[in-house]
A and B are shown apart, each in its own frame.
Chain A
Amino acid sequence: MPSVIDFFAQGATLVFEPLALALIVVGVVIGLTMGSLPGMTATMTVAVLVSFTFGMEPVQGMMLLLGIYGGALYAGSIPAILIRTPGTPSAAATVFDGFPLAEQGKAGRAIGIATVASFVGGVISVVFLAVLAPQIATVALAFRSPENFAIAVFGLTIIASISGDSIIKGLISGLLGMFLATVGLDPNLGVPRFSFGVEVLTAGIEFIAVMIGLFGIAEGLARYRAGIDTDSVEQDLSTVRPTLGDLKNISNVTFGSGVVGAFIGAIPGAGGDIASFVTYNEAKRWCSNAVPEFGEGNVLGVAAAESGNNASTGGALIPTLTLGIPGDSVTAILIGALLVHGIRPGPGLFESEPGLVYAIFIGFFLVYVVILILGLVGARYWARLIDFPSMYLWPVIFLLCIVGSIALRGNLLDAWVMLGAGVLGYFMRMDDYPLAPMVLGLILGPIAESNLRRSLQVSGGSLEVIYTSPIAMTILLFSAISLFLPVIRRRIRQYRM
């Protein structure tokens, strides 16, 4: 039986070849470029560019997407520090101390700290991923249909419950995604559902097209609604290399935030934004006597937020790879990219494609090495991108959305679906419906349906097969808790007040 070392060797063989390595660098550069533009999220960038990977080998595609993911998440800190506008939502907590540092003329120092902290957080998360994921997958391999059904329900409820102010709207969004996923052939009987005689629809709605629309077009429409304009920046960024004193100063906070961030990232649906706010607040508590105070330009604040949000990336890959439940919106798209290649993430992946899994571990580590190098060497260049005029950018993004959707299956219907999803996503955003649960519904709906119906088939139509499974019942209990936790928490807060 092959050992872990054999698996790492297999992964290394796939990663350490010129094209895969080049794609890591290209991915990081694209991620850095897009993340440096205010308001361009990592999710949107990955969604818009996922179509570039359809013609590649799965490992190569993953290297490109992981590079974009890590690069964009890190680069969000640059506009957050320079112009108080986070490039990605994950960098929102970086603003608190990053921008005051920039106001004091220390933007270079803040970006240097952010770069090192992002690297440390990212590497910690990769170690977590490589250590924990195979263990979880081994346990999950024993799951049968009832447990898999419970896992899908868990994924849906937890994401609906933490994705916004309104649980009802989060659940509706998730259920709409699940409904869209029922279009096409029935998984058990093979008959078309809701295809209305349209031949292309019998193959189902391509959920990547929906995601491209939700995260690309809807975001674009929101930008056009607000008005396309460009921010400008004037800062001295001649040096972004942190001093030894700064590195020593941030070491504990950076490491601690990395560990916390990786754990938070592993919770399905809790992405970099939640991780960075939690780690920032924890660091503020740990270092309550820090001078200057948090919020007035303390490098510890920048380090905590950036280590935390980048640490969430490896954490988010844990449920994605081991259970097939996306850890955040970006990993949902990664699942889509793998499905295009006929690879279904989940515990079976560790048996069927160990080379790919370990290549992802190694590749993601390399992504953070490249981020460290390019961040320290080129931060001043990425900073100039803030001035890039959006009027040229958004039309190109819209075009990429259309062409990317057509590239999925070579038909125009996917482009119409993408545009429809974009318009729907825009209205949902305007009315405070979170979009992430919809994507989750699209992914987890078919898993929930096929496993539930298979369970019922085995048991002759009795639900006994589910409630006699201790694992399934435990997972369903957690689902119920996750669903009601925000309500209980709100009640406790109201009671205390």
Chain B
Amino acid sequence: MVSRVFRSDAIAAGLLVALSAAVFVVSADFPTGRGGDPGAAFFPRLIAGTIAILAVGLLLKDLTTDERAAHEIDPTVVRRLAVVVAFPALYIFVMPIVGFPLTTVVFLAGLMWYSGARSIPIVLGSSIGVMFVLYYLFGVLFQVPLPDGLVPIGDVLPVVIPVGLI
């Protein structure tokens, strides 16, 4: 069932004021400056104060207007987006443990499948191909620390590169 959230501006204003208050609390311990320097808390507080003023403006606008910002919430869409966000979140969490090669192939194949791709050879072939290209580009060429984990791709690649496959 589709539900509607009214006053998204009012909700945003509340969150922004809360953020501003948190900035003031957290920056209370920041050291003061020397000479004319107003100190470490000055600029963040200036920003937070301005955000709070604008948030109040947003709230007032919301309270005085006839056309309030409203959003429809469709559970199907929410579920779809939650799954799509879960894919990269799980990837970042699992990759250091399981390793780049396996996590990448599972991530790509899984998200492609979830997105509607149904050809197993294309899904697997493209997932493995993209993984190899990125491993070579980032891991080998740019020296980004991409853990091998369960699949020792680092041992295989030097054999593959001279053959001209990558």
Residues of A at under 8 Å CB distance from B?
51-52, 54-55, 168-169, 171-172, 175-176, 178-179, 182, 186, 188-189, 191, 193-194, 217, 220-221, 224-225, 228, 389-392, 394-396, 398-403, 406-407, 410, 412, 415-416, 419, 423, 426, 430-432, 445, 448-449, 452-453, 456-462
Residues of B at under 8 Å CB distance from A?
8-9, 12, 16, 19, 23, 26-27, 30-31, 33, 35-40, 42-44, 47-48, 50-51, 54-55, 57-58, 61, 69, 71, 77, 80-81, 84-85, 87-89, 91-92, 95-96, 104, 107-108, 111-112, 115-117, 122-123, 126, 130, 134, 137-138, 141-146
User: With A189-B33, A395-B112, A407-B138 given, is the CB distance from A412 to B92 under 8 Å?
Assistant: yes
Chain A residues with CB below 8 A from B44, complex form: 179, 182, 193-194
Name 10 interchain pairs, CB-CB below 8 A, sorted by A: A55-B141, A172-B58, A179-B51, A188-B33, A188-B40, A189-B31, A189-B40, A194-B23, A224-B81, A448-B43
- Contact of A457 with B35 in the complex, beta carbons under 8 Å: yes
Contact among A395, A396, A402, A449 with B43 in the assembled complex (CB-CB below 8 Å)? A449
- Contact of B81 with A415 in the complex, beta carbons under 8 Å: no
CB distance from B48 to the nearest CB of A (A): 7
Apart from A228-B115, A392-B122, A406-B138, list 14 A-B contacts with CB within 8 A.
A52-B137, A172-B16, A176-B51, A188-B33, A188-B37, A217-B88, A221-B81, A221-B85, A391-B117, A403-B134, A403-B144, A407-B144, A448-B43, A452-B43
B12 nearest CB neighbor, chain A only? A431
Complex Cα distance, B39 from A48, in Å, reads 37
User: With A217-B88, A452-B43 given, is the CB distance from A410 to B36 under 8 Å?
Assistant: no
Complex Cα distance, B111 from A401, in Å, reads 14
- Contact of A419 with B112 in the complex, beta carbons under 8 Å: no
CB distance from B43 to the nearest CB of A (A): 4
Complex Cα distance, B90 from A177, in Å, reads 27
Contact among B12, B43, B141 with A453 in the assembled complex (CB-CB below 8 Å)? B43
Complex Cα distance, B136 from A403, in Å, reads 12
Complex Cα distance, B140 from A394, in Å, reads 24
B126 nearest CB neighbor, chain A only? A392
Contact among A194, A221, A395, A458 with B111 in the assembled complex (CB-CB below 8 Å)? A395
Contact among A401, A410, A453, A460 with B144 in the assembled complex (CB-CB below 8 Å)? A410
The 5 closest A-B pairs by CB, nearest first: A461-B36, A55-B142, A395-B111, A391-B115, A186-B40
Question: B91, B107, B112, B144: which has the most chain A beta carbons within 10 Å?
Answer: B144
Complex Cα distance, B87 from A432, in Å, reads 26
- Contact of B111 with A457 in the complex, beta carbons under 8 Å: no
Complex Cα distance, B75 from A418, in Å, reads 25
Chain A residues with CB below 8 A from B38, complex form: 453, 456, 461
B143 nearest CB neighbor, chain A only? A55
Chain B residues with CB below 8 A from A217, complex form: 88
A172 nearest CB neighbor, chain B only? B54
Chain B residues with CB below 8 A from A396, complex form: 108, 126, 130
- Contact of A416 with B35 in the complex, beta carbons under 8 Å: no
Chain B residues with CB below 8 A from A399, complex form: 91, 104, 107-108, 130, 134
Chain A residues with CB below 8 A from B30, complex form: 186, 191, 193
User: With A399-B108, A456-B36 given, is the CB distance from A415 to B92 under 8 Å?
Assistant: yes
